[in-house]
Amino acid sequence: MASSQESHPAQQRAPVAEYVAESLRTLPAGSSFSVRVVYTADHAVDSLTPRRPLSHFHAESTYSRRILAFVLQGGCLVAGLEAHEFTTLRIEAQGAQPPRTCVAVDCCIEKLDSSGELAGRMPMARALVAGYLRSLHRYSAALSVPSVGVHMFARAQPEYLFAKSKDNPRKRILGDLDLVKWWQSTLHHALEYGARPAPDQSKLPSVHPVANCIVPGSTMLESPWFFGKDRPSGAGLENRNASGSCAESSLSVEWRWGLPYPLSARAHDCVLQFPDDPITRLLSEAHSSAWSVSALLDMLSVSEECGSGHRTAYFSASLPLCPDIGALAGAIANCGTASQGHLSFEDYDKILVVLFDQAMDFSSTASALSSSSRLMGYLDSSFDIPFIDVETTGPATSADRTRAPKPQEPPAVNDLSTMVRKRRKVVS
């Protein structure tokens, strides 16, 4: 593909890339990877609650940046993550008092995918998510916010970022129920990793992350299917509100069943509406104006995207930030909310056009290498996206240890023949 004729400033090394690299280093030793992260400048966008009524004494501005992180092994793309980060500034005046300013940061993980070309079994995608969540501490230094909202919608698809990877025999594709379980486990680990204090702060009181999960059409009594045996199930508890606690004191992440909003609240006043999301599409309908959160969940459970036999899940978490980690991120690269060296949304979309081009093919090793080279060449020639080399140093996990295959034994069958009394044949 021909390179762009426009000149673009080289991107600085992003804190996102540094933290993803740090997370990847914890994978089993002996592997080499490269990390590349594309990020845009902050752009003014619509509010995440566009139909929330505001008074004349209330002003709100929302800014967005887009993140695209790639992990390569031997020049071949093996994993990718796309996220959307939103910063909302609210100013409210009350009488003669000075205006009150509030800043909120929310990120939405939009896509996570693997190509199937990873050499060896290791939790690559989980490490990528953990590193990204850890990088959100950069907002502590830039905006002094105490926490960041982490949101994602889990829906099973054979491929998200890497075209034709569904045809790669080495790619493991999860069904809807397994995907919900995987995301719950992955976010649990990533939130623990992301909230972990710096070594010199290990003795300070820590704030545990709080995470919500809701599977439209399911009740809290069914939550053990999604949380797994090692997670709080909430079985037997009444669903008193949208965030009925299912926490266990032994867990560092407090899991709750439901959306993080009161069931009786007006949905348009509190539910965040992210791009390309079933909730956003439902709330865009004119007759949704008076819906409560409870009514929204009812509509989701029978919607085309979340109902009709589909198993999908919404995850929403609050990740507490550590000021010292945020200061480190600012020292790595002074990005904050500045735009110097950052791409525009238009340039970002050009990268997506190349990534989703019909010529891209990750169905085999040869085609995946060719497609990876094509995309990386475009990043080099058009935007000079820097990369970080990573050598893994972590211990081996149980999944990585070679085990002798067990001989296949026939299934045990109850033999009831000795208990059957046969009738003697009567000879006339």
What's the rounded Cα separation, in Å, for the pair 45 and 64? 6
Closest-CA residue to 69 (of 77, 60, 61, 58): 77
Q: Yes or no: say if 337 and 61 are a contact pair by the CB < 8 Å rule.
A: no
- What pLDDT sits at residue 98? 80
What's the rounded Cα separation, in Å, for the pair 77 and 362? 9
Helices (H), 110-232: 124-135, 138-143, 176-195, 224-227
Strand partners, 39: 67
- What pLDDT sits at residue 341? 54
pLDDT in tens, 274-320: 999 999 999 999 999 999 999 999 999 999 999 878 899 999 999 99
Confidence of residue 384 (pLDDT cuts 50, 70, 90): confident
- What pLDDT sits at residue 59? 83
Residue 337 has pLDDT above 80, yes or no: no
Furthest-apart CA pair in the chain: how many Å?
115
Interior angle at CA 375, CA 67 and CA 275, nearest 5: 30
- What pLDDT sits at residue 183? 96
258 or 233: which leads in pLDDT: 258
- Lowest-pLDDT choice from 76-80, 209-213, 235-239, 326-330: 235-239
Gyration radius of the chain's alpha carbons: 25
Interior angle at CA 122, CA 351 and CA 181, nearest 5: 85
Confidence of residue 3 (pLDDT cuts 50, 70, 90): very low
Query: What is the DSSP secondary structure assignment for residue 425, as one 8-state letter?
Result: P
Confidence of residue 214 (pLDDT cuts 50, 70, 90): very high
CA distances from 425 to 25, 365, 397 (A): 77, 68, 64
Tokens of 290: 């008076």
Residue 203 has pLDDT above 50, yes or no: yes
Using a pLDDT cut of 70, give the percent of the chain over it: 76
Domain-by-domain residue ranges, the chain? 15-196+211-220+317-391
Average pLDDT score over residue span 77-98: 90
Q: Yes or no: say if 280 and 305 are a contact pair by the CB < 8 Å rule.
A: no
318 or 235: which leads in pLDDT: 318
Strand partners, 303: none
- What pLDDT sits at residue 229? 52
Q: What's the whole-number average pLDDT of the chain?
A: 82
What's the rounded Cα separation, in Å, for the pair 428 and 424? 12
Is 0.85 surpassed by the pTM of this model?
no
Confidence of residue 200 (pLDDT cuts 50, 70, 90): low
pLDDT in tens, 14-55: 689 999 999 999 999 999 999 999 999 999 999 999 988 876
Average pLDDT score over residue span 327-332: 45
Average pLDDT score over residue span 103-118: 97
Interior angle at CA 388, CA 386 and CA 389, nearest 5: 140
pLDDT in tens, 160-194: 999 999 999 999 999 999 999 999 999 999 999 99
pLDDT in tens, 351-372: 999 999 989 999 999 999 999 9
Q: Yes or no: say if 256 and 244 are a contact pair by the CB < 8 Å rule.
A: yes
- What pLDDT sits at residue 226? 77
What's the rounded Cα separation, in Å, for the pair 268 and 147? 23
> Exposed, middle or buried: residue 44 (CB in 10 Å: 0-12, 13-18, 19+)?
exposed
Cβ neighbours, 10 Å, residue 345 = 14
Q: Which residues of 292-329 are buried (b: 16+ CB within 10 A; e: fewer)?
A: bbbebbebbeebebbeeeebbbbbbbbbbbbebbbbbb
What's the rounded Cα separation, in Å, for the pair 208 and 147? 11
